[in-house]
Each structure stands twice: as C-alpha cells, then as structure tokens.
Structure 1
C-alpha cells in the first residue's frame, strides 16, 4: 500500500521554451510560482516544457492562464501520486472537486522506459509516467 505524504500537484505545459518565460506568464496571471518546478515532458508524443505546480497554487487564475493558452488537459496528482487527467472543457477539475479521469499511478521509470510512452514527465533528471 502506498502512503500519503506527497504534495498534491498539477503538471501542465505552456507554449514557451524556458522556465523564466513560464514564470513570467504565470505571474502576470496572478499565480503563486514559489513552488513551481520546471522540467520537460511529452504529451501525445510531442515534447514540451513541463511545469509542476503544487495543487494549492492551481487557482482560478492558474486555470485561466492554462486555458488562455488552449491546453487540452492537465495532469493532477494526489498525495499518493494517483494521476488524473483533467480536461479544459471541464475547467480542469481536481480529483477533490470534480470528475477528472483517473489514469493510474505516477511512477518513476528509467529514461528509456519512460520515453517508450507517448506521455511522460521529467523533473531533475527523474522520469515519470502515469499508468
């Protein structure tokens, strides 16, 4: 049995090339970026910047920002790193306040194994896939 204790978070992307640009955009929307972690990832086989934000900072302002950049969905992680896909059409609901799609556990994998999947995230050199 997995234990609680991880920080609930949301992973998403913005159409920028670096963390400074992402921080600037989020800050302009009034988002608290103090816990933001910048990495890289892939969604449906397309590599992109990956942004990890504590779920408490994924406020209405953050949702508005992500929606303004037409992000189809975000990945929401609970305190056990169960992964949920939250869609734009539903205003990116969290697992606690909506009905996002459960897609599995967010698991650490070696790079080669992670990159066999169409969607993966990498923060600090550590690769993860939700399945």
Structure 2
C-alpha cells in the first residue's frame, strides 16, 4: 500500500500534512513526496523536534554538514536532503535561503584493481574449456 497516496484533509492543521498537500498541488511525483517528507522529518528530529519556522539557515547548514561529517553520506544523498530543505523553505514557506555554506560530502573513492602479469598468468592457467 506504499504506492497509494493517503488521503489528506485540506483543512488539516498539521505541518507535514500541509507540506504534503503543497507537494501534490505542485504536481510532484509520489516518490518525491515520500523522499522530501523523509528528509524534512530527519531535519526536524536532528534539531530536537523544533518547528522549521523557528530554525535558521545556519541550522540547515549544520544538518547538511552533519550528514557529510558524522553520517558519511554520499554526495547524492546530501544533494537529495538539500533539495528537500530548499523545497521546504523556498517554495513551501516562501523564505529566501540565500547561499548555504555547508561541508560537502565526499564521493566514494574507488581504487582500480590492477593485476600483475603473474596473477593474470595464474588466472588464465586455471581456466578450462574451449573459450
């Protein structure tokens, strides 16, 4: 049942319900709605369940930096969280967020696997069959 959007009363006074309705009115996908709500909830919990209107842009920067430093999230994960918070503040609440100065997440570094001639010879000598 996660594929079906739950009904929400347009008269609901709950903050997250109003955000959910705003996302739907702007025609965003249901999966985007779920993702944005997830990150907004994590942001609120990170700051001790304070209402986002009571938080400043330095609090947004602190949360995004926390994701990079303590949670060691990927660049894409941090970007999704940033998009959710930008939507929350800029489009839903109508506040100017300005330039955010947070620590960017580091991309995963992959070390290439390189075999020596001896290792390749050992691998090929163990192969059986025509091809």
Q: TM-score range by the shorter chain?
A: under 0.3
Larger Rg: 2
The structure where helix makes up a greater share of residues is 2
- Give TM-score, length-normalised by structure 1: 0.28
The structure where strand makes up a greater share of residues is 1
For CA contacts below 8 A with separation 6 or more, give which structure has more relative contact order: 1
